[in-house]
Amino acid sequence: MIQTFHAPMLVFDLDGTLAETAGDLTNTLNVILEREGLAPVSLAEARQMVGAGARALIQRGFAAEGRSVDGAKLDQLFADFLDHYEAHIADVSHLYDGVVAALDRFEAAGFSFAVCTNKVEVPSKKLLNALKVDHRFKAICGQDTFKDNGRNIAKPDPRMLLMTIDLAGGHRANTIMVGDSRTDIDTAKAAEIPVVAVDFGYTDQHVSTFAPDIVISHFDQLWDAVSKIEKTRV
C-alpha cells in the first residue's frame, strides 16, 4: 500500500507569537473607550487583555473601568473596532526578531506553515500581508473561519486547530503548535498536538504555568525545540 507523505507543519498563533501587535490593538481599543467616555488603558494593561479576540478585548477594556458591555452595543463597538484597526493594521506592529529566519530554515527543511488565531480572519490576513509574510502560510485561519451551526469555532476549541491543519493540507501526526498563551496551550493539548510556547507574548501568567511541551524565549530557539519534540515521536 502506498502511503501519502505529509510535510511536517508548524501552526502559529499570531498576536504575541509571530508579531508584536499590542501597540496597534491598544491604540484602537483606546479610541473606542474614549468615545464611550472611559479612561484609556496603558500598553502594559492591554498586553494582559489581548489574546481572545477583539470582542473580549473590548469587554476587558470596559471591565477595567467597572463597566460591562454585551449584546447589540458590543456588536456595534466590535464593528467600529475593526474599521479603525484595519485602517491602522501595522502602524507600529512588527514581526518578532528571528521570525523570518526561522521560517526560512524550516521551509528549507521541508516544513509548511499555517496560522490559527482568535483574531478575525480578514485583519489577520491584512496584517500578515502588511508584514510581507502572508505568502508563507498554507492557511490563515481566524475566529470566524470555521462555523458550527452558525457559531464561530475558536480556540480553545481543539476543532479550530485541527480544521486549520486540515485546510492547510497538513497531518495531525506531524504538526506542532507555537503559541504564547494558555488558550494556545489548552487548544493544542485538547487536540493532542505538541505545543511550543514563547514567553514574550500576551499572558497574565508565565506560559510555563500552563505546562507546554517546551518554552522558548527567542525564535532562534525554535529549531532545537521542534527537533526535541520530533525525536520523541520517533
pLDDT digit string (tens) for 27-57? 999 999 999 999 999 998 888 888 777 888 9
Report how far apart, in Å, the C-alpha atoms of 188 and of each of 132, 149, 155, 203, 216 are: 27, 23, 9, 16, 16
Residue 4 lies in a domain: no
Both 208 and 132 in one domain: the answer is yes
How far the first Cα of the chain sits from its last, in Å, is: 21
Tell me: the pLDDT tens digits for 90-137? Answer: 999 999 999 999 999 999 999 999 999 999 999 999 999 999 999 999
Which of these three, 87, 117, 138, is where a domain ends?
87
Which of these three, 87, 117, 143, is where a domain ends?
87
Residue 129 lies in a domain: yes
Both 112 and 220 in one domain: the answer is yes
Q: What is the CATH number of the domain that holds 16?
A: 3.40.50.1000
What phi and psi, each to the nearest 5 degrees, are found at residue 116?
-130, 105
Both 101 and 162 in one domain: the answer is yes
Pairwise CA distance, residues 185 & 198, whole Å: 11
Task: Estimate to the nearest angstrom the gap between the alpha carbon of 79 and the chain centroid.
Answer: 20
Is 13 an annotated catalytic residue?
yes
Residue 180 lies in a domain: yes
Provide the number of structural domains found in the chain.
2
Residue 150 lies in a domain: yes
Residue 213 lies in a domain: yes
**pLDDT the model gives residue 6:** 63
Residue 3 lies in a domain: no
Both 100 and 185 in one domain: the answer is yes
Both 72 and 98 in one domain: the answer is no
Minimal CA–CA distance to 182: which of 219, 158, 208?
Answer: 208
Residue 2 lies in a domain: no
Tell me what percent of the residues of the chain surpass a pLDDT of 90. 85
Residue 218 lies in a domain: yes
Both 40 and 121 in one domain: the answer is no
Both 163 and 112 in one domain: the answer is yes
Catalytic residue among 13, 15, 24, 213: 13
Pairwise CA distance, residues 17 & 51, whole Å: 10
Q: What is the CATH number of the domain that holds 56?
A: 1.10.150
Both 32 and 103 in one domain: the answer is no
Both 15 and 46 in one domain: the answer is no
Please give the single-letter amino acid code of residue 99. V
Both 37 and 111 in one domain: the answer is no
Pairwise CA distance, residues 134 & 122, whole Å: 12
Both 141 and 211 in one domain: the answer is yes
Contacts of residue 50, defined as CB under 8 A and 6 or more positions apart, other chains included, come to: 15, 16, 21, 22, 25, 57, 202
Mean pLDDT in residue range 191-196: 98
User: Which range of residues forms the domain containing residue 117?
Assistant: 9-20+94-233
Which of these three, 40, 57, 87, is where a domain ends?
87
Both 127 and 215 in one domain: the answer is yes
Report how far apart, in Å, the C-alpha atoms of 36 and of each of 62, 74, 101, 179 are: 9, 12, 43, 33
- pTM beyond 0.75, yes or no: yes
Pairwise CA distance, residues 119 & 209, whole Å: 24
Tell me: the pLDDT tens digits for 120-131? Answer: 999 999 999 999
